[in-house]
Amino acid sequence: MTRVKFAIPKGHLEKDTLKMLERAGYQIGDLKRTYRPSINDPGIELKVLRPQEIPTFVSEGVQDIGISGKDWVAENRADVEVLLDLEYSRVRLVVAVPKAWTDVDSLSDLLRKKMESGETLRISSEYLNAAKDYIKANPAYREAYGDAEPMVVSPWWRIGENERVAIYLSFGATEAKPPEDADAIIEVVDTGASLEQNSLKIIEEVMDTSALLIANRRAMEDPLKREKIMDVLTLIKGAVDGSKKLHVFANVKKSNLDELLEKLPALKRPTISDLSDPEWCAINTVIDKVKFLEILPTLRALAQGLVVHEPRQVLPLEEIMSENGSL
């Protein structure tokens, strides 16, 4: 039997990934004891890896599918097929400098400040490629240095010809580097509390990022693997969509039904069933969770016996097949 190799992340993405997979119907073995946990689908072979590694392994075909952050897909310049934005672990990749630098409110300000003083601009980041690309695209940088590559420094090598702008690989605790060890950092932030505690301020945003489900392009061309990957995509997308929906049941007098449907455009194509009382019917539908408070007053006025619950999954089968092609 052909098995799909599925890499799931260790670390900060792990908790939300496991919750999402459980919601999708997967049962996964004890991750504390092994990096090759069991799963209740014999067509899937799981492996736990760092999210930084997963895009490269998927791109190279070592893994068929995987979950990693958009930031690491971009940083690795991974040639993968993005199947789905999983909509969790939403963070921002930002440029931050010391708060005390009141004359610096943008990357251009920072570049000009360092050029005027004749000092090398030092940036600390885990995201060397993203940092380099972002800095090179800055108008002040291009005006001063043209197409010259910023110097990128790691313990193993130094590349790039522009020594006036140097990007140093950070191995963590990046917020602690300024001002002694770096002038600025390019780092992911959630609430920004860590930056605040280290007296840093955000001057620019590089990208928004979240967890992605990605696939190897060659695996998507293999009919057997593609079929299993589409199964995985269907279940996971159902879990993602289900978390944003509410399943609504209500009893409605038939005399109120037309008014209810007219006033509630969110109730798209509800299932309507007769009840034992010929004057009443039941409606059964799925709505966007954000619409519920908006439509509640109307439901309360025109319906009875309201039951609401969050569905575990909503499986958009036609949508998935139209977006990804039929087998």
Percent above pLDDT 70 for the chain: 95
In this predicted structure, which of 56-70, 139-153, 189-203, 267-281 has the lowest mean pLDDT? 267-281
Region 232-247 average pLDDT = 90
What pLDDT sits at residue 140? 96
What pLDDT sits at residue 325? 55
What pLDDT sits at residue 270? 85
Residue 32, amino acid: K
Region 48-54 average pLDDT = 96
- Taking alpha carbons only, the member of 272, 269, 327, 325 closest to residue 303 is 272
Structural domains present in the chain: 4-89+211-242 (3.40.190.10), 92-209 (3.40.190.10), 245-309 (3.30.70.120)
Kindly calculate the radius of gyration of the chain based on its CA atoms and give it in whole angstroms: 26
What pLDDT sits at residue 287? 84
Give the Å distances, CA to CA, from 231 to 238, 261, 316.
Answer: 11, 35, 12
What pLDDT sits at residue 319? 64
What pLDDT sits at residue 190? 87
What pLDDT sits at residue 13? 92
What pLDDT sits at residue 268? 66
The model's confidence at residue 37, banded by pLDDT at 50, 70 and 90, is very high
- d(Cα 179, Cα 234) in Å, to the nearest integer? 48
Give the Å distances, CA to CA, from 196 to 201, 204, 207, 299.
Answer: 7, 15, 20, 45
Region 23-51 average pLDDT = 92
What pLDDT sits at residue 207? 94
What pLDDT sits at residue 20? 94
Region 313-317 average pLDDT = 70
Q: What strand order describes the sheet that includes 162-169?
A: 158-159, 150-153, 162-169, 121-125, 184-189, 91-98, 200-209
Region 111-130 average pLDDT = 95
Which tops the pLDDT comparison, 282 or 316?
A: 282
What pLDDT sits at residue 7? 97
Give the Å distances, CA to CA, from 321 to 200, 236, 288, 325.
Answer: 46, 14, 22, 5
Note the pLDDT tens digit of each residue in 88-111. 999 999 999 999 999 999 999 999
Q: Which residue(s) pair with 247 in the sheet?
A: 286, 309
Q: What strand order describes the sheet that includes 211-215?
A: 44-49, 4-9, 65-69, 211-215, 81-85
230 pLDDT exceeds 60? yes
Q: Which of 119-123, 260-264, 302-306 has the highest mean pLDDT?
A: 119-123
The model's confidence at residue 327, banded by pLDDT at 50, 70 and 90, is very low
In this predicted structure, which of 176-190, 272-286, 313-327 has the lowest mean pLDDT? 313-327
4 pLDDT exceeds 50? yes
The token pair at 289 is 């969770």
Backbone angles phi, psi at 45, to 5 degrees: -115, 110
131 pLDDT exceeds 70? yes
What pLDDT sits at residue 326? 47
User: Rounded mean pLDDT of the chain?
Assistant: 91
The model's confidence at residue 295, banded by pLDDT at 50, 70 and 90, is confident
Q: Which segments within 226-325 are labelled E, that is strand? A: 245-253, 271-274, 280-288, 303-309
- Taking alpha carbons only, the member of 164, 35, 173, 154 closest to residue 110 is 164
Note the pLDDT tens digit of each residue in 191-220. 888 999 999 999 999 999 999 999 999 999
